[in-house]
């Protein structure tokens, strides 16, 4: 290979926004880190191309080489395209992993045709390892989820047979996560584990393949920062990746490109509304891009926020039936809370909201991006996990990093809560929210922990920070791999 030409890196994110947004940020950051030397190409579905368009336009306007390649993905019967999985019911969520395999032929022919110098692809796209090997270029796995939940899931996977046996005799069994670094015991009820760990489903059979490809690949890029989960990062580098790059929080880097999280789509009104509220007084309520509440649960939440007497900003999904207030909130509710509460339908500029000085708490489902964004903004968190690894993330937030507390502790939580028709009652929500906002020693502790994390996150993405350093190191390693061929295996 000839040294000095542009390094062409292809990025293949999966379809959900929690994956798409950070990987787009990474592509923009890498292009910005080496102007004129690196070209980033996002391979996305036509619908997702529209979502990242403002971010890519912003990068282009700054003179950074980021382009989009629309990849026509097959219809998988989840609506009018696989990207519609964002509206799939919660219990179908892991099935989406199966649907993803349908894009394999499209990925393979596209990579063979364009022959990039390096491939960065999402966890479920394990097959990109094979094509990259065939082309003799590095493939890196991009992890939109932190190291703590990954280690916990890997380690729990090793005791899956035991978990399945215990679930069959006791649906309320609690397991201890094996082989985690440090002395802290981490326990979790089996009902809060992702389904692939408690039953044989499609993902449990592809999990090993995903892991094997990750280990055999060039390295792993994780959206986290070392100071958030240091002991776990060290352990992860030892057992889970040949090379690990901890590059987050991606939304906190300067120059950041996350246009969609910064008011780029016309929902900026809530920012001026926030400015009318006292410092650290508002509870921001958002459950990410995917989670779905039943109408009954949504109404309890509405009543709970009303009864809490706290100012709140609540993001309600705008798709389909949820848009009619009579379904997601009781009759007359919006008028009653007017002034004190604001509802955003659809999409809020979350990163900008969390950075606003009026925001004092974040009621979140603990999606990894939301956890990172809360930490970066120094905002304490009330946890309400719903599916996937969110319950494990919750343990990082409330235990290891200690900047949050659970909104509720009763009843069945997790993917089976829907079947159990468990709803969190309005009174419990009101009590938790009001209690969390109450001034006092507990609140001060949370604010101090969150504030410290924010400082460390800022340092990590700063010029001499670990995450910015890892982005530079990643690019250097890719240039070296191109110019002198792929280095031999290190372990
Ligand atoms: N997000 C946003 N506005 C919204 C909802 C979500 O900007 O109204 C962003 C949020 O900042 C985060 C991502 O979408 O970066 C959601 O990812 P997360 O991992 O928190 O949850 P998921 O959507 O994957 O469940």
Q: Which atom of ligand 1 is nearest to the CA of 368?
A: 19
Three-state DSSP string of the chain: CCCCCCEEEEEECCCCHHHHHHHHHHHHHHHHHCCCCEEEEEEECHHHHHHHHHHHHHHHHCCCCEEEEECCCCCCCCCCCHHHHHHCCHHHCCHHHHHHHHHHHHHHHHHHHHCCCEEEEECCCCCHHHHHHHHCCCEEEEECCCHHHHHHHHHHHCCHHHHHHHHHHCCCCEEECCCCCCCCCCEEEHHHCCHHHHCCCHHHHHHHHHHHHHHHCCEEEECCCHHHCHHHHHHHHHHCCCCEEECCCHHHCCCCCCHHHCCCCCCCHHHHHHCCCCCCCEEEEECCCCCCCCHHHHHHHHHHHHHHCCCEEEEECCCHHHHCHHHHCCCCHHHHHECCEEEEECCCCHHHHHHCCCEEEEEECCCHHHHHHHHHHCCCEEECCCCCCHHHHHHHHHHHCCCEEECCCCCCCCCCCCCCCCCCCHHHHHHHHHHHHCCCHHHHHHHHHHHHHHHHHHHHHCCCCHHHHHHHHHHHHHHHHHHHCCCCCCC
| Arithmetic mean of pLDDT over the chain | 88
Residue 365 among the catalytic residues: no
Active site (annotated) includes residue 107: no
pLDDT tens-digit map of 44-68: 988 889 889 989 999 999 999 999 9
Instruction: Give the pLDDT band (50/70/90) at residue 471.
Output: very high
**112-126, 408-422, 452-466: segment of lowest average pLDDT:** 408-422
Atom of ligand 1 nearest to the CA of 19: 24
Question: What lines the ligand 1 site, CB under 6 Å?
Answer: 16-18, 21, 260-261, 286, 288-291, 315, 347-348, 350-351, 367-370, 373
pLDDT tens figures, 197-207: 998 877 777 88
* Least-confidence region, from 108-122, 224-238, 316-330: 316-330
Residues 60 and 388: beta-carbon distance below 8 Å:
no
Mutate to test the pocket of ligand 1, among 15, 17, 19, 86 (most ligand atoms within 8 A of CB): 17
Of ligand 1's atoms, which has the minimum distance to the CA of residue 370? 20
pLDDT value at 158 more than 90:
yes
- pLDDT tier for residue 366 given thresholds of 50, 70 and 90: very high
Residue 84 has pLDDT above 70, yes or no: no
Answer yes or no: is pLDDT of 299 > 50.
yes
Q: Is the pLDDT of residue 93 over 60?
A: no
Give distance in angstroms: CA of 373 to centre of ligand 1: 9
Q: Among residues of the chain, what percentage have pLDDT more than 70?
A: 87
> What is the 372 CA–ligand 1 centroid distance (Å)?
11
**For ligand 1, atom 2, which residue shows the shortest CA distance?**
350
For 378-437, what is each residue's pLDDT tens digit? Answer: 999 999 998 889 999 999 999 999 999 999 887 777 666 555 667 899 999 999 999 999
Tell me which of 64, 107, 117, 122 is the catalytic residue. Answer: 122
321-357 pLDDT tens trace:
445 666 789 999 999 999 999 999 888 999 999 999 9
Q: Which residue lies with its CA nearest to atom 13 of ligand 1?
A: 18
The arithmetic mean of pLDDT across residues 290-310, rounded, is: 91
**Mean pLDDT across 263-284:** 86
* Active-site position among 19, 253, 292, 356: 19
Mutate to test the pocket of ligand 1, among 342, 367, 385 (most ligand atoms within 8 A of CB): 367
Ligand 1 atom nearest 144 alpha carbon: 19
């Amino acid at each position: 290979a000839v040294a000095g030409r542009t390094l062409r890196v292809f990025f293949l994110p999966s379809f959900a926004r929690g994956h798409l947004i950070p990987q787009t940020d990474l592509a923009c950051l890498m292009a910005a880190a080496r102007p004129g030397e690196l070209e980033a190409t996002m391979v996305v579905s036509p619908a997702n191309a529209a979502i990242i368009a403002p971010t890519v336009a912003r990068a282009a306007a700054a003179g950074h080489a980021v382009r989009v390649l629309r990849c026509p993905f097959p219809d998988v019967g989840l609506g009018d395209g696989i990207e519609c999985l964002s509206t799939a019911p919660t219990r179908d969520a892991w099935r989406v992993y199966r649907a993803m395999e349908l894009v394999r032929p499209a990925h393979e022919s596209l990579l063979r045709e364009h022959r990039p110098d390096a491939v960065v692809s999402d966890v479920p796209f394990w097959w990109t390892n094979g094509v990259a090997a065939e082309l003799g270029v590095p493939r890196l796995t991009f992890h939109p989820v932190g190291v703590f939940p990954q280690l916990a899931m890997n380690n729990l996977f090793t005791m899956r047979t035991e978990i399945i046996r215990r679930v069959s005799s006791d649906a309320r069994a609690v397991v201890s996560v094996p082989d985690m670094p440090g002395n802290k015991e981490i326990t979790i009820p089996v009902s809060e584990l992702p389904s692939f760990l408690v039953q044989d489903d499609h993902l449990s059979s592809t999990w090993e393949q995903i892991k094997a490809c990750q280990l055999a690949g060039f390295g792993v890029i994780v959206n986290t920062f070392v100071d958030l989960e240091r002991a776990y990062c060290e352990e992860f580098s030892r057992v889970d990746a040949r090379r690990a790059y901890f590059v987050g929080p991606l939304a906190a880097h300067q120059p950041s490109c996350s246009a969609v999280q910064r008011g780029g789509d016309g929902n900026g009104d809530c920012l001026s509304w926030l400015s009318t509220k006292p410092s650290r007084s508002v509870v921001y309520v958002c459950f990410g891009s995917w989670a779905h509440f039943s109408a009954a649960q949504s109404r309890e939440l509405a009543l709970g926020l009303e009864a809490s007497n706290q100012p709140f900003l609540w993001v309600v999904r705008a798709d389909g039936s949820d848009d009619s207030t009579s379904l997601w909130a009781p009759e007359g509710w919006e008028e009653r809370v007017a002034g004190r509460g604001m509802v955003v339908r659809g999409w809020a500029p979350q990163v900008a909201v969390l950075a606003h000085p009026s925001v004092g708490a974040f009621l979140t489902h603990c999606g990894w991006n939301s956890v990172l964004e809360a930490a970066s903004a120094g905002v304490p968190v009330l946890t309400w996990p719903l599916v996937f690894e969110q319950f494990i993330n919750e343990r990082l937030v409330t235990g290891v990093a200690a900047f949050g507390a659970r909104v509720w502790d009763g009843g069945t939580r997790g993917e089976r809560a829907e079947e159990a028709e468990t709803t969190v009652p309005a009174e419990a929500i009101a009590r938790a929210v009001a209690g969390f906002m109450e001034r006092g020693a507990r609140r001060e502790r949370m604010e101090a922990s969150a504030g410290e994390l924010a400082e460390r996150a800022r340092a990590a993405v700063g010029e001499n920070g670990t995450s910015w350093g890892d982005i530079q190191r990643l690019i250097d390693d890719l240039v070296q791999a191109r110019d002198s061929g792929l280095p031999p295996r290190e372990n």
